[in-house]
Amino acid sequence: MPDGHFVYIVRCGDGSYYTGYAVNVDKRLAVHNAGQGAKYTKARLPVTLMYKETFASRSEALKREYAIKQLTRTQKEKLIKEGQHAGNQQL
């Protein structure tokens, strides 16, 4: 996965979702799963990538991360499901 500006959603081991920002999603997932990531995910391993979006700038990505974090669980699930139909956004 090339470097860039990404917002991603992972499903944690307890079924909850975590949204984050990264320049390399694969590397960030490895960090999360090694227990070195966010405090939230550290206690809820393993994490699985469910969704990602790519942005041209860090600023755009961080604004989108904030917006996704404001969504309800149902809204996040809808976003993930819609991403499946869009092709490369959902994994």
The CATH code of the domain that includes 77 is: 3.40.1440.10
Identify the pLDDT of residue 85: 54
Residue with the bigger pLDDT between 91 and 77: it is 77
C-alpha 56/C-alpha 7 separation (Å) is 11
Q: What is the pTM of this model?
A: 0.87
Residue with the bigger pLDDT between 3 and 59: it is 59
Q: How much is the average pLDDT of 26-47?
A: 94
Q: Provide the b/e sequence for 57-71 (b: ≥16 CB within 10 Å).
A: eeeebeebbeebeee
9 in a structural domain = yes
pLDDT of 91 above 90: no
91 in a structural domain = no
Q: Are 42 and 21 in contact (CB under 8 A)?
A: no
Tokens (6 digits) for 74:
């149902």
Q: How much is the average pLDDT of 77-88?
A: 76
CA torsion through residues 54, 56, 58, 62, sign? negative
Residue 82: which domain range?
5-86
46 in a structural domain = yes
Instruction: Give the number of domains in the chain.
Output: 1
Flag the least confident range among 45-49, 71-75, 87-91.
87-91
77 in a structural domain = yes
C-alpha 54/C-alpha 43 separation (Å) is 27
Distances in Å between the Cα of 32 and the Cα atoms of 1, 56, 58, 60, 62 are 17, 24, 20, 23, 19
At residue 83 the predicted structure's pLDDT band, cuts being 50, 70 and 90, is: confident
